[in-house]
Amino acid sequence: MSPFLLTRTLPLDATDAALRADVLSGLTRHPKTLPPKWFYDAHGSDLFEEITRLAEYYPTRAEREILIAHSADIAAASGARTLIELGSGSSEKTRHLLDALPGLHTYVPVDVSESALKGAAEALLAERPGLSVHALIADFTHALDLPDSPGPRLVAFLGGTLGNLLPQERAEFLKSVRARLVPGDSLLLGTDLVKDEATLVAAYDDAAGVTAAFNKNVLTVVDRELGADFQLDDFDHVAVWDPEHEWIEMRLRSRRAQTVKIRELDLEVSFEEGEELRTEVSAKFRKEGVRDELAAAGLRLAQWWTDSAGRFALSLATAD
């Protein structure tokens, strides 16, 4: 069996502390907000996997199309001997890259979920004798202490997750990635592209209601972890396109005036009828905007690939 190492850089109580801080901060401001990372308990992760198979939700299929078509180009351009994947989850899409990188020595999946990392590593090592896997239990939005590994290194941030960060957060994130790269290293970035409003809204408000259940799952997480008494039926799922910022917002709209108690925070939160709680921003991008944001972080856009319909892009940026 090939080497497998698992390193925890996230304290055992970090998730609970972060949830408490986010709920306290987000629900006592106006407008109210909660970060999208709290969708993803085990049930939320299953719901998202279901979303990726929906007819309306194109990003996963579009990104997979690019990876199938261009993994060999990515491998040739990066020459990577180490692949670092931020927010790796099941590492499913990454298999196309792993297969295409002939000189790959080490794979470094980074995720907050220990169970996801172990499951993915077990499957990968069974399929790929000789691959070294060094998994990190870490939050990629914070400074990462990456393990020593052979260069050049390719950092992959797929799925359009960059769009869930607000502009200042994106700038800080890209600068933090750049700070960990040396000349010859590169960043592979997945970004969903600006397109017509109907297509965008449908992707976040499917006819079967799976995305609505996924959105409301954040309330279930707060109820379970912090002793809150949110009632899911008291909120409606809302997805809207903001043309000024060029992003989709997912919200939960209160059906009535109500007060929610959060026992573990000794907090009462009042909602007016029709008041909305923002749970996700999903920015959409244009090539020139991606180039500018990368440049501001000290990265140079070197390659740009889209799917056949021009819905999604993978870009390769270098740390020159």
Task: Give one word for 82, left, alpha or beta, with left for phi > 0 and alpha for psi -120 to 50.
Answer: beta
CA angle 49, 53, 55 (to 5 degrees): 145
Tens digits of residue pLDDT in 32-89: 999 999 998 889 989 999 999 999 999 999 999 999 999 999 999 999 999 999 988 7
Question: Worst-scoring range by mean pLDDT, 128-137, 180-189, 276-285?
Answer: 128-137
Distance between CA atoms of residues 187 and 77, nearest Å: 11
Per-residue tokens: 27: 């629900």
Helix residue spans in the chain (DSSP H)? 14-27, 42-51, 59-78, 94-100, 114-127, 167-179, 197-203, 210-226, 287-296
User: For the domain with range 7-109+140-320, which CATH number is right: 3.40.50.150, 3.40.50.720, 3.20.20.10, 3.40.50.700?
Assistant: 3.40.50.150
Q: Are 239 and 211 in contact (CB under 8 A)?
A: yes
Residue with the bigger pLDDT between 265 and 126: it is 265
Name the phi and psi angles at 43, rounded to 5: -65, -40
Give which of 214, 157, 206, 161 is closest to 180, Cα–Cα: 157
- Beta strands 247-254 and 235-242 are antiparallel
- Pairing assessment for the beta strands 300-306 and 312-318 based on DSSP bridges: antiparallel
Rounded to whole angstroms, how far apart are CA atoms 209 and 192? 22
CA distances from 298 to 176, 191, 291 (A): 10, 18, 11
- Give the Cα-Cα-Cα angle 155, 156, 160 (nearest 5 degrees): 140
Q: How, if at all, do strands 312-318 and 186-192 pair?
A: antiparallel
Quick one: pLDDT at residue 15? 86
pLDDT at site 1: 44
Share of the chain above pLDDT 90, in %: 76
| CB-CB neighbours of 89 under 10 Å | 21
The mean of the pLDDT values for the chain is 93
Question: What is the number of alpha carbons within 13 Å of residue 285 lying toward its C-beta?
Answer: 28
Residues in Cβ contact with 265 at an 8 Å cutoff, skipping those fewer than 6 apart: 20, 23, 24, 226
Whether the pLDDT of residue 196 is over 50: the answer is yes
Residue 92 confidence (pLDDT) above 50: yes
Q: Which of 7-11, 70-74, 77-81, 145-149 has the lowest mean pLDDT?
A: 7-11
Place of tokens 């999946």: 109
**pLDDT for residue 237 is more than 80:** yes
**Does residue 253 surpass a pLDDT of 80?**
yes
Q: Where are the domains of the chain?
A: 7-109+140-320
pLDDT-based confidence at 2, cuts 50/70/90? low
- The encoded tokens of residue 138 equal 């870490």
pLDDT at 5: 83
Displacement of CA 202 from its chain's centroid (Å) = 20
Give pLDDT, residue 143: 73
pLDDT, tens digit, for every residue of 207-216? 999 999 999 9
- What's the rounded mean pLDDT across residues 99-126? 86
Among the residue ranges 144-148, 193-197, 314-318, the one predicted with the least confidence is 144-148
Distances (CA, A) of 315 to 147, 186, 311: 24, 10, 13
3-state secondary structure of 13: coil
**Amino acid (1-letter code) at residue 48:** F
pTM attached to this predicted model: 0.93
Dihedral, 173, 176, 177, 181 alpha carbons, nearest 10: 170
